[in-house]
Amino acid sequence: MTKPGTIYGVGLGPGDPELISLKAARLIGSATHIAYFRKAGRRGQARQLADGLLPAHAVELPMDYPVTTEIALDDDAYAATLKVFYEQCVEQLLQHAVHGDDVVVLCEGDPFLYGSFMHLHRRLIGRVAVEVVPGITGMSGCWTASGTPITYGDDVLHVVPATLDEAQLCQAMQGADALVVMKLGRNLPKVRRALQTVGLAERAVYVEHGTMAQQQVIKLTDKRDDNAPYFSMILVHGQGRRP
């Protein structure tokens, strides 16, 4: 019998290709099958990050999102659509793994931090060998791009998804010494209001495409529009104990 292959969830880091780990580069460079998420009709950010690392013979397995906009967490149709999508992706990967092929799944940032791979991971465990290769997180890339440490001493860091409703955002932000707000997109106006409500707006820093060529770092109060791409977040740096 053919020994089943392994499915690797490989973190690619925050966007600068030079921040891909040696282990990730080795696995990608020797891969026979490469899978990655993308918007339909697009190449996909993860695939772009792996440019120059993929062997010419690698079989590419794009996984096209059926929806690409964050919708309210309680939207049953949205959740049902993604559930079917992730189950289809798992079956696609298993078809190759059961025939002895290893599959490398490219993951932006770290696979276990708000990444799509985690939804595959929990469906694959117990059915095939799975290995996760961590990557530098997007938030780490952004606070490094800001040029200021995100926490000092005993600062408490809160990581908050912008998809929460405004009241939940305010509650999550309160009591934070340092703050990272992810998944901005069209939620930016709501996040601005929440930051103003809890008194953090003046300290907030907006980072767009952190570590990438088109990187932008400005105070949130200096950002005049409400356009926020997928690769953007807001930081509030801690001001805690220092020797």
What does the DSSP assignment read for 23-35?
A: HHHHHHHT-SEEE
Q: Which residue range is the domain that position 232 belongs to?
A: 139-236
Indicate if 91 and 208 belong to the same structural domain. no
Indicate if 43 and 124 belong to the same structural domain. yes
Indicate if 104 and 163 belong to the same structural domain. no
| CB 143, CB 122: distance < 8 Å | no
In a domain, 223, yes or no: yes
Indicate if 132 and 144 belong to the same structural domain. no
Q: How many domains does the chain have?
A: 2
In a domain, 67, yes or no: yes
pLDDT in tens, 5-33: 999 999 999 999 999 999 999 999 999 99
Residue 69 pLDDT exceeds 80: no
Indicate if 56 and 113 belong to the same structural domain. yes
Residue 82 pLDDT exceeds 60: yes
Regarding pTM above 0.85, the answer is yes
* pLDDT bucket at 239, cuts 50 / 70 / 90: very high
In a domain, 241, yes or no: no
pLDDT in tens, 158-193: 999 999 999 999 999 999 999 999 999 999 999 999
pLDDT in tens, 86-129: 999 999 999 999 999 999 999 999 999 999 999 999 999 999 99
76: helix, coil or strand?
A: helix
Q: Which residue has the tokens 């930016």?
A: 188
Q: Which of 82, 105, 136 is the last residue of a domain?
A: 136
* pLDDT bucket at 78, cuts 50 / 70 / 90: confident
Indicate if 90 and 72 belong to the same structural domain. yes
Q: Which of 106, 121, 136 is the last residue of a domain?
A: 136
Indicate if 183 and 113 belong to the same structural domain. no
In a domain, 162, yes or no: yes
Cα three-residue angle 69-48-216, rounded to 5 degrees:
70
Q: List the end-to-end C-alpha distance of the chain, in Å, as a whole number.
A: 62
Nearest to 198 by CA among 236, 151, 142, 241: 236
CATH code, 55: 3.40.1010.10
In a domain, 242, yes or no: no
In a domain, 128, yes or no: yes
Indicate if 191 and 106 belong to the same structural domain. no
CATH code, 174: 3.30.950.10
> In 40-135, at which residue ranges do the beta strands (DSSP E only) sit?
59-65, 103-107, 129-133
Q: Which of 136, 160, 190 is the last residue of a domain?
A: 136
